[in-house]
Chains A and B, each alone.
Chain A
Amino acid sequence: MRPLIFLFVCLFSAGAWATAAQVGLARVAFEGHGPAGFRLEGVTDALELRDAGGQWVFTVPLATLKTGIALRDRHMREKYLQTDRFPQAVLALSRDAVPLPDEGQTRSGTAPAELTLHGQTRPVQVAYSISRSGGRYQIAATVPLDMGAFGIEQPSYLGLTVQPQVVVNATLAVQMSP
């Protein structure tokens, strides 16, 4: 009986996903645009991946985002993202929505997810590319979003207004363990 139970557990585990654990440095960056070719990028390497049952949950502490200008970072934290009230952005993605590639292969696609930002949860589409090498998965993902949909005020400073549409790019590596 015991061997049968062990085999059942092994088969079940193989049929679903193994537990994902983040390895190495991650990078999350949002990109915004303004008039006359203005471009703005905010970057952090603080990305946490949690394997929660049937979901991958990505969490970014928003206060760690840096745009290259200290005062702009302060405005972003205090006036727009209001990180004292809403410290994190959380993206929840069903593991079933993202088929993993075989060893040495790359798989790309889009998957629905839920993003919680500024205290509001909205559906978003995640465009991803996953490469597998040596049991490690290198993931690159892009999420376009509209700040207005999350109740974030459109950033504007001394006549320069940033468009509400921004693109979030993330890269990270994960290791699967049974």
Chain B
Amino acid sequence: MTATTRWSLLLWVLLTAGSAQAYPWMIKHGYAACAACHVDPSGAGLLTPYGHAQHELLVTSHYGRNPEEVDPGVDLFNKLRLPAWLNLGVSTRAAELLVHTPQGNTSKPLLMIADLRGEVSAGRVHVVATLGFEPEGALLAALTRNQNDNLVSREHWVGVDFAEQSVLVRAGRMNVPFGLRNIEHPSWIRSETRTDLDSAQQYGLAVAYLRDGFRAELMGIAGNFQLTPTVYREQGYSGFAEWSLTPTFTLGASSLLTHAGKDLITSGDDTLRQAHGVFSRWGFGPFALLGEADALIKSSRGVSTDVGFAGFTQLDAELIQGIHLLGTLETLREAGEQNYGEWASVAFFLLPNAELRTDAIFRQDDTPTGFVPSITLLGQLHLSI
């Protein structure tokens, strides 16, 4: 893959992808399971009322207030007093993107996400859907067929829970269960496995199992029905299992296998795509360490099988509540090329419904003419209810 192609892909991912609330570093608060705070049993997206309260108690800056006196009712969501059967959320993320490469600079404002999320529950049955607007891109989640200015729906599914919510069976379009559910959608572990939270959702049937100390989800993938022509749709499975060895230390394993008549990126015929890997989360004091390593195997008719690798490790330091300093190292090997990336990020949760975040992404892309560097700066304001 040429450097130009890779920069274009990175830009494409950043431009087309929205974002979500997904913070695997909550492991340091003993939250190994995600379903208490998120409607999605494997994490990310629409928060439960309990999740809204934890966001304000554990994520937002307190500015020196006595933490015992923090009232989650300050959260606008909890002031709305929605009926128990209805859960609504709004997420908007505006950003400024700067990309520097040897070939020049790119700068543009972005509306990364503008989504309304909702859940209607009737007993054990849950209906969840998101509806948003994308000025450009996100075509994999688009409901309309314009070049720009599309209505998008990243998730829409129906689920039924069993056994005191320890089992949730879902059908519809949902996030693909695989590895860390991290928010950095351009990270190679997400983009190369095509399991990011933004527009990589798939239609299918999934079963999630959640017990103390263990969580798992397996999804049968029927394809992305919002993608045409149909030959590009992938069918197969994806899943993970994660064990909590202590309340703040987990180990997990993931596996994905899909087949498409034609690959969306390479256009290879009869493409079989596999990803198999391990991941871990460890919280200690104000720190959280996340890691994921995935083998990437891709084969297409008439093309030799490529065995690659994607690795990711991230240290999150929250020395003052609400201010996160994040350092990330990542690597990607595919098609015989070895690429490296380093991220330096700051996230400031200044209010219960507002987050400022800045990422500086340094990447070394392996090309036939040698390593070519790129620098991406991304500043975001995320407002959510």
Q: Please list the residues of chain A having a beta carbon within 8 angstroms of any beta carbon in chain B.
A: 33-39, 41, 68-71, 73-74, 157-160
Contact B57 A35 (CB under 8 A): no
Residues of A within 8 A of B50 (CB): 157-160
Main secondary structure of the interface of B (DSSP, over half): mixed
Q: Which residues of A contact B166 (CB under 8 A)?
A: 35-37
Task: Given A69-B58, A71-B57, verify A36-B36 contact (CB < 8 Å).
Answer: yes
Residue of A nearest to B210 (CB): A37
- The answer on a CB contact under 8 Å between A35 and B164 is yes
Q: In the assembled complex, which residues on chain A have CB atoms less than 8 Å from the CB atom of B165?
A: 35-36
- Assembly CA distance A41 to B29 (angstroms): 11
Q: A39, B49: Cβ atoms under 8 Å?
A: no
Interface size on B, residues (CB 8 A): 35
Given A37-B212, A39-B213, verify A73-B68 contact (CB < 8 Å).
yes
Q: A37-B33, A37-B215, A71-B67 are in contact. List 20 more A-B contacts (CB 8 A).
A: A35-B36, A37-B32, A37-B214, A38-B36, A39-B33, A39-B247, A41-B30, A41-B247, A69-B54, A69-B67, A70-B57, A70-B67, A70-B68, A73-B68, A74-B68, A157-B53, A158-B48, A158-B53, A159-B48, A160-B50
B38 to chain A, nearest CB (A): 10
Whether the pair B57, A69 counts as a contact (CB closer than 8 A) is: yes
**What 0/1 pattern do residues 152 to 186 of B give for CB contact below 8 A with A?**
00000000010011101000000000000000000
A71 to B58, CA, bound (A): 10
- Check: B35 CB closer than 8 A to any chain A CB: yes
Interface residues as binary, B67-105 with A (CB distance below 8 Å gives 1, 0 otherwise): 110101000001000001000000000000000000000
Q: Which residues of A contact B212 (CB under 8 A)?
A: 33, 37-39
A36 touches B30 (CB 8 A): no
Closest CB in chain A relative to B67 CB, distance in Å: 3
Chain B residues near A41: list those with CB within 8 A: 30, 247
Q: Quick one: which of A41, A69, A73, A157 has the most chain B CB within 10 A?
A: A69
Q: Closest approach, in angstroms, between the C-beta of A47 and any C-beta of chain B?
A: 20
Q: What 1/0 flags go to B23-49 for Cβ under 8 Å of A?
A: 000000110110110000100000011
Q: Shortest CB–CB separation between residue A162 and chain B, in angstroms?
A: 11
CA distance A158 to B35 in the complex (A): 14
Chain A residue nearest in CB terms to B84: A159
Question: Could you say which residues of chain B place their CB within 8 Å of the CB of A71?
Answer: 57, 67-68, 70, 72
Does B211 sit at the interface, judged by CB under 8 A?
Answer: yes
B351 shortest CB reach to chain A, Å: 18
A156 CB, min distance to chain B CBs, angstroms: 10
Distance in Å: Cβ of A169 to nearest Cβ of chain B = 12
Chain B residues 207-264 with CB under 8 Å of chain A are: 210-215, 244, 247
For the complex of A and B, list the 10 residue pairs with the smallest distance between their C-beta atoms, beginning with the closest. A37-B210, A70-B67, A37-B33, A36-B35, A35-B165, A36-B165, A158-B49, A70-B68, A38-B36, A158-B50
With A and B bound together, what is the CA distance between A34 and B50 in angstroms?
A: 12
Chain B residues near A36 (CB-CB < 8 A): 33, 35-36, 41, 161, 164-166, 168, 210
Kindly provide the distance from the CB of A63 to the nearest chain B CB, expressed in whole angstroms: 12
Partner of B49, one of A33, A69, A159: A159
Q: Note all chain B residues with C-beta closer than 8 A to A70.
A: 57, 66-68, 70
Q: CA separation between A37 and B211, bound complex, in Å?
A: 4
Q: List 27 A-B contacts (CB under 8 A).
A: A33-B212, A34-B36, A35-B164, A36-B36, A36-B41, A36-B164, A36-B168, A37-B32, A37-B33, A38-B33, A38-B212, A39-B212, A41-B247, A69-B29, A69-B54, A69-B57, A70-B57, A70-B66, A70-B70, A71-B57, A74-B68, A157-B50, A158-B49, A159-B50, A159-B84, A160-B36, A160-B50
CB-nearest residue of chain B relative to A38?
Answer: B36
A90 CA to B165 CA in the complex, in Å? 35
Between B53, B161, B210, the greatest number of chain A beta carbons within 10 A of the residue's beta carbon is seen for B53
**Bound form: Cα–Cα A30–B48 in Å:** 25
Which chain B residues lie closer than 8 Å to A68 at the CB level? 29-30
Determine how close the nearest CB of chain A comes to the CB of B175; give it in whole angstroms: 16
CB distance from B210 to the nearest CB of A (A): 3
Docked pose: A69 CA to B29 CA in angstroms: 8
Q: Measured between alpha carbons, how far is A53 from B70 in the docked complex, in Å?
A: 46
- What is the minimal beta-carbon distance from B242 to any residue of chain A, in angstroms? 10
| Bound: A68/B31 CA distance, A | 11
Alpha-carbon distance between A160 and B58 when the two chains are bound, in angstroms:
17
- Measured between beta carbons, the chain A residues less than 8 angstroms from B210 are 36-37
CB distance from B256 to the nearest CB of A (A): 23
Complex Cα gap A119–B211 (Å): 32
**Bound: A136/B164 CA distance, A:** 44
Chain A residues within 8 Å of B72, by CB = 71, 158
Closest A residue to B53 by beta carbon equals A158
CA distance A41 to B31 in the complex (A): 11
Contact with A along B333-368 (1 / 0, CB 8 A): 000000000000000000000000000000000000
Closest CB of chain B to A36's CB: distance in Å?
Answer: 4
> Please, how many angstroms separate the alpha-carbon atoms of A34 and B310 in the complex?
36
Task: State A69–B213 Cα separation when bound (angstroms).
Answer: 20
Closest B residue to A74 using CB positions: B68
Task: A77 to B337: give the CA distance in the assembly, Å.
Answer: 58
